[in-house]
Chain A
Amino acid sequence: NAGVTQTPKFQVLKTGQSMTLQCAQDMNHEYMSWYRQDPGMGLRLIHYSVGAGITDQGEVPNGYNVSRSTTEDFPLRLLSAAPSQTSVYFCASKGLAGSGLYEQFFGPGTRLTVL
């Protein structure tokens, strides 16, 4: 299994541009989520999904859209990038680990800079 994958690893945007951060998992997990990580602020939940066709907002959803057309993919769209969206973005999926309990697995992250 590749686990949780994200593309791109790095991205630089100009203010006002739009783009999509890709996230995919091959573990057949129902639950997926997007976090942003800023210095001194930990990880904050942007949007999440409990299954294909179902999404909901997290703590900081403004300026971002998501969709979940398949179990595997959960893209995050920035509609009109702003400097305040400069951050590291992590996608995560939740499913059964080897322990038999549910665990959240993170992707490698996307470092986004908005100029």
Chain B
Amino acid sequence: GENVEQHPSTLSVQEGDSAVIKCTYSDSASNYFPWYKQELGKRPQLIIDIRSNVGEKKDQRIAVTLNKTAKHFSLHITETQPEDSAVYFCAAKVPNTGFQKLVFGTGTRLLVSP
């Protein structure tokens, strides 16, 4: 079945720096890759996603890139702010499931220091 690995497990940056979180997946047929942000004690919330028919997607300060050949995708946050501090999860959709069956990475705790 699908397996998703996420690195690093923790990431500390200074405010204004960029942050990059990387994920790899195992099933080359996976075609949907969402990223979730979870603040302390809150529910995960979708922040950006990408489908396998594109290589990059941007939304203001966040972007996601996808390399289908290498089976990895990355989250890029530019000009980080203290409110970006949270745990970020990547996920991959299990192929050939009508239901959006997602396999999640183990999460990256991002800390942005003022």
Contact = CB atoms under 8 A, between A and B. Distances in A.
A55 B89 CA distance: 25
B106 A108 contact: no
Interface residues of B, number: 21
Given A106-B43, A109-B43, A48 B104 contact: no
A101 B53 CA distance: 15
B52 interface: no
B101 interface: yes
Assign chain A's interface to a size class.
20 to 34
Contacts of B67: none
Interface of A is mostly: strand
Given A31-B99, A43-B44, A90-B43, A104 B34 contact: yes
Interface in A76-115: 90, 94, 101-104, 106-109
Interface string B70-114: 000000000000000000010100000011111111110000000
Interface of A: 31, 33, 40-45, 48, 50, 56, 58-59, 90, 94, 101-104, 106-109
B54 to A, nearest CB: 13
B12 interface: no
B28 interface: no
Nearest to B107: A42
Contacts of A103: 34, 46, 49
Interface string B9-50: 100000000000000000000000010000000111110010
Contact of B101 (A45, A90, A106): A45
A20 B42 CA distance: 21
Give the 9 A-B CB pairs with smallest separation, nearest first. Answer: A42-B104, A106-B43, A43-B104, A42-B106, A94-B100, A50-B99, A106-B44, A108-B43, A31-B99
A44 B98 contact: no
Nearest to B100: A94
A44 B103 CA distance: 7
Given A42-B105, A42-B107, A43-B89, A48 B43 contact: no
